[in-house]
Amino acid sequence: MKHRGVRKGILWLLPAVLPILFAVTSQAGADSWKPIGKLTARGGHTAVWTGTEMIVWGGFQAWRILNTGGRYDPATDDWTSMLSGHEARIDHTAVWTGTEMIVWGGRHWVQGGPVYHPAAGSRYDPATDTWTPTATMGAPSPRCYHTAIWTGTEMIVWGGYDVSNVLVNTGGRYEPSTDTWYSTSTTGAPTARLGHTAVWTGTEMIVWGTTGTNLLGGRYDPATDTWTPTSNTGAPTERKYHTAVWTGTEMIVWGGSGGPYGSIRVNTGGRYKPTTDTWTPTATMGAPEARENHTAVWTGSEMIVWGGHSGSDLKTGGRYNPSTDSWQATSTVGAPSARYNHTAVWADTQMLVWGGNRLGVYLNTGGRYDPATDSWQVISATKAPSRRDLHTAVWTGSEMIVWGGSNGTSYLSTGGRYDPTTNNWQAISKAPSSRYLHTAVWTGSEMIVWGGRDGKSFLKTGGRYDADLNAWTPTLTTGAPAARAEHTAVWTGSQMIICGGRGPITYYNNGGIYTP
């Protein structure tokens, strides 16, 4: 079982294959599930929110491209079918204007390969259930994997792959009030790309990200049809398996591996301030050794990085102070043994490191680092959970809870609660069956685990762990969604919402709302 980097993958090259089909409804009775209405299963579709309904359209099912969709009303848990009147496609974009959904671009398949839609788009009016073609004169060239944003008066599409599978840095602005296209300037535009992101600030579209070379971002002002490059000063080089923390005003990126095929580990980083759209490089003087698969926590004033891999497994780390742009090495005296794929949480005044892997050996040891004294204390191994990596860890406000993971030969159903004030572990009793690819949420008083796989079967069971009682309560199976893994789960403040995922033979287009 190979684990390094298993949590991180280059996902932007794939169309979305898990539908996001759920709605938050009024709270049901205690320990209850509320099923979600169904639409024809699909992936690679789009969805927009109108203010009262979610409109889902297009996509594929079993390699059949769809031109169908539906409107979902969460207040009534009902779907309303849509007139099919628009040609089938995937990898398109959709925006909501306030009265209409505009679908544009994408592709479909015919025998022999994909077919792109030359400048094709349509506007869907849910009030009349009608489609109106968008103008083709002046529209951008055919493409997929592009981005689209709504400005309040216009849709701006940009980038992506064209008919010849060539990346483009062109785009267009579509004004539905006049059914008119305007080209976006290429002067000063970012380099051609796909897998990027685009956001609307209120006055500009900001494009940023993806992989390759010379892929800086850009800010596009439709009022002047001009591009302004995002700052390159201090921007980190491309990388993967790095860490990022949010300080409250800045994002700090550090470490990882980059260069050709991501083969060169780095000890550089950058601080990005969104209010000014500027990068500031992190100092390299005194920075820790280059690494990947490490951990990083934010203390409120410093970022602490520790552990990871750099040709060999590491037990070193560093504290970065953005106010002084300076590093201070973390002490190695009393530090835990070298490792990667461990967890780290910030516990109010100290960093707690636990578990992980060293040279293929799974660990159940850890340490507490106090930056005020630059000192380590050993986390007790007495009654600690068994050896593992790729587990989860949460901080409750008084304890660290770890659960699940792998020991290389099996998946685990065990865990433990660690109290740093007493340096004691308390075993978690009556845990759900062993599993992986499950989800877990923290409610403020309970951890809820649900679904996943046990190595052989897909599961529809789960458990609620009450930290005060140190006890598990099974989640109700009556009315629960079908057994699945690779789904998502969120906590709303009173309910856990499960959606999507896959079972033994299919992907799911449904979910459920669990009220503990």
Residues 307-350 have pLDDT tens digits of 999 989 999 999 999 999 999 999 999 999 999 989 898 999 99
Q: Which long-range contacts (CB under 8 A, 24 or more apart) does 209-214 make?
A: 210/12, 211/10, 211/238, 212/238, 213/238
pLDDT given for residue 321 in this prediction? 97
| Whole-angstrom distance, CA of residue 390 vs CA of residue 394 | 13
| Whole-angstrom distance, CA of residue 423 vs CA of residue 401 | 13
In the chain, which residues have pLDDT < 70?
1-30, 34-37, 63, 85, 109-119, 195, 208-216, 231-234, 238-240, 259-262, 274, 430, 486-491, 499-501, 507, 509-510
And the tokens for 260?
């050709």
| Whole-angstrom distance, CA of residue 486 vs CA of residue 508 | 10
According to CATH, the superfamily of the domain at 39-229 is Kelch-type beta propeller (2.120.10.80)
Q: Which of 44, 86, 32 is nearest to 509 (CA)?
A: 44
pLDDT given for residue 510 in this prediction? 66
pLDDT given for residue 349 in this prediction? 96
Neighbours of 224 (CB within 10 A): 9
Q: Which residues pair with 497 in a beta bridge?
A: 490, 513
Neighbours of 98 (CB within 10 A): 9
pLDDT digits (tens, 9 = 90+) for 163-221: 777 889 999 999 999 999 999 999 989 888 876 778 788 888 888 656 454 556 788 99
**How many helices, marked H, and strands, marked E, lie in the chain?**
0, 48
Tell the burial category of 165 from Cβ atoms under 10 Å away from its Cβ (0-12, 13-18, 19+).
exposed
| pTM of the shown model | 0.51
3-class DSSP state of 212 = coil
Neighbours of 150 (CB within 10 A): 18
Please check whether residue 355 is in contact with residue 342, taking contact to mean a CB–CB distance below 8 angstroms: yes
**In the block, residue with structure tokens 């483009």:** 168
Domain parsing of the chain, residue ranges? 29-38+434-516, 39-229
pLDDT given for residue 238 in this prediction? 66
